Each structure stands twice: as C-alpha cells, then as structure tokens.
Structure 1
Amino acid sequence: MAYIGLRKPIIGKLDAETGKYSAPITFGKAIGLQVTPSYAEGSLNADDMQAEYDKEFNYADVTLNTSTIPLQAHQDMFGHTVVTESEKSVEFNANDQNNYVGMGWITVEKVDGVRAFTGNFLYKVKFSEPAEDYATKGDAIEYKTPSIAGRAVALADGKWKSVGVFDTEAAALEWINGKFGVEKA
C-alpha cells in the first residue's frame, strides 16, 4: 500500500460517563499526521532460553498538523471557554482541563494502481495545546501552522483504533461519522 493523501481531520468530545461523542467538527485542513503505537513487552527465560514473550498495546502518540484550530476545538479539546462564536473569542484559564476526544480522518491510498479511501478512527485521544510560533513577514510569505500532540489510549473494552477501506471519500466519511454516532443526513 502507498498512502498518497490525507484529508478531513474530525474530532468529537468523548463524554466519560456515557461513552458517547459530541457532534463532530472538522479540525481544519490536514497537513500531516503521525500515529505511533507503543507496546508493553515482557519475556520469560527458562532453561537458558526465552520460553515466553508478550507484547501488548499500551498507547499511541499522535501528532496532528493542520491549517487551523477551530474555535469549538478550544472548548471540546482543551476545556477553554468560547465566549461567543460571533466575537471569535476564547478565554484561557489556568484551571481548564483537557478532554478526551474521538478522532477520525481519511487517507487516500493506492494499491496495484487502484485508489481507495481509508477511514481511520481513534476512540480516545487527549491532546495538549500547541506551542505558538510567530514570525514577521519578510521577502517571502511563510505560513505557520499549528501542530498538536496527544496520546491515544484504549477504551475499557480494549478498542483503540478502527480502519475501514472504501471506494469513495463520501463512503469513508459516512463510516467515520457513524463511529461518532452521527446518522446519515
């Protein structure tokens, strides 16, 4: 498989009590994404050789670079207060708590010359706010985009990620929305 595209990062706040997601929102336009699983490992040596070996999912580090961080994401992900959408204003408080979110995205891949659209879904991720990087305008235009880092963990039932492969982008998006609990409109 060869990935040739990345599209539509989507997040929805995970309610810890109900296990359901809030209405999902598009999280800007995707620039880059890395999901790096980490595993706990252990081995048992007996009779001068390795007798047992186990490797189990522990967590996954997630880094997402997007064109922008929408106002609603400040509230859903980072626990800040969106004063009003019309004012485009966010209040940051030292006591704000980051929230777990579900996260979906679409990758485009090509296998044997055939293009497919893969829906990806992480069930439970907690992100940290990005560092802010600004620069004065010089002779050339330079874009600065936010990159957020987080950690995906498994749900109580052990699920941490789902992947579905589809013929169209619309079908992959519908699958992702279904993971958030959104019915087709």
Structure 2
Amino acid sequence: MARIGVKNLTIFPITKDDHEGTTYGTAVKLPPLMKVSLNAKTVEGSLYGDDRQVEGNFGITGYDITVDTTDLKPDQIAALLGHKKDSNGGITVNADDEAPYVAVAFESKRSDGDNQYVVLYKVKFSPLNEEFETKGENITYKTPSLAGKAIARESDGAFKYDVVAKTLPEGWYTTPQKAV
C-alpha cells in the first residue's frame, strides 16, 4: 500500500545495551515530522561453480536514516547530538561531543486506512547541516534535517521492528516495542 503521511517522531535514549539486555530512558517527542528516509545497508555474496552462480546471499548490516522535521529546539539538539546547553539556552558544539544512541519511533498512514508503526532500536545521528536564506519576494522555509545510522542492538542483534495496524499498539510511544 502507498504511504500518505508520517508523524509522531519520538526518540528513546539508550541507557544500556549489552549481552544482558537493552534499556531505554524516557521517551522524547520531537517537533512535527516532515519526512523519514530509511535505506537498508546490505552485503552480498555469490558462490560460483560449474561456470555459473550456484548460491547467493544477502544480509543487512544497518540502515541509513534521514529525518526532516519542522524545527528542533536547543535541548532536543543537545539530546540528539551530545552538545552542552548553557544557562542562557545556548548550545556549544565541541570537538569532543559524542552523540548518544537512541531508539527512533514514528508512524505512517497508509492508503488502505491502516497505519504502519516503525521503530529503529539503535540510532546515532551526525551533526546538523544548517542552511539560512534571506527573505525575498517569497518566503522559503529552511528546516533541520538529521542524518544517522541505525545499527544492531548488542543485546539481541535487532535493527528494526514495524507493524501494520488499524490502531496505535499499546505503549508504542512509551517504550520501543518488539515482536511478540
């Protein structure tokens, strides 16, 4: 089915991810979502014998994610990119800043009336690219775009979970959901 909308971008800071399990902090709802792009990163292998390919395999190594929102507040930028916010509300970008890993959840309306709910379990975003433009005869909005990489959780190797449903799965925006 075709997708006809996207909304409710929510992140969950990762507080622990090791062989014993993954735990997440409190959900943070981000400003209105404009677009999400997910591109699977894959590897492939081919086995040849008798002058032809006899085997082929593909695997997922992660996802590239790009998120476009209408705005990002300084505290949200600091939380996503590991920058420090001062008492004036300003952000200092430092060479030693380290973006934390977060889970990312959102939903998309489908043309059949259902919704697709998506969570990526472990994402790290790269620094923002910013663009500014003067106001001329027309107003051109410049909005933030975040690029990141989703990798497998240490605890179970999971990258992503999505489900198609008529109604919001219970707890979807409270904690990252997983297959049952």
Distance 2:74 2:84 in 1: 9
Distance 2:118 2:10 in 1: 10
- 1:125 counterpart residue number: 123
Q: Where in structure 1 are there 5+ consecutive unaligned residues?
A: none
Within 5 A, what are the aligned runs for 1:5-154?
5-17=5-17, 19-84=22-87, 87-111=88-112, 115-154=113-152
Q: Percent identity?
A: 29
Counterpart of 2:171 (choices 155, 167, 174) is 174
Q: Where in structure 2 are there 5+ consecutive unaligned residues?
A: none
Deviation (angstroms), 1:180: 6.7
Distance 2:38 2:14 in 1: 19
Alignment RMSD (CA, Å)? 1.9
What is the identity, as a one-letter code, of the residue corresponding to 2:67? L
Structure showing the higher helix proportion among its residues: 1
Q: What is the number of equivalent residue pairs in this alignment?
A: 174
CA contact (8 A) 2:171 2:177 kept: no
Deviation (angstroms), 1:126: 0.9
Distance 1:63 1:161 in 2: 15
**SS state at 1:129 partner:** coil
- TM-score, length-normalised on structure 1? 0.86
Distance 1:142 1:172 in 2: 37
Deviation (angstroms), 1:81: 1.2
Question: Are residues 65 and 41 of structure 1, via their aligned partners in 2, closer, same or farther at CA, if it must alter by over 3 Å?
Answer: same
Any idea what the Cα deviations from partners look like across 1:106-127, whole Å, max 9, x if unmatched?
A: 100122xxx1122110001111
Distance 1:83 1:134 in 2: 23
Question: Are residues 75 and 173 of structure 1, via their aligned partners in 2, closer, same or farther at CA, if it must alter by over 3 Å?
Answer: farther
Deviation (angstroms), 1:64: 0.6
Distance 1:71 1:26 in 2: 14
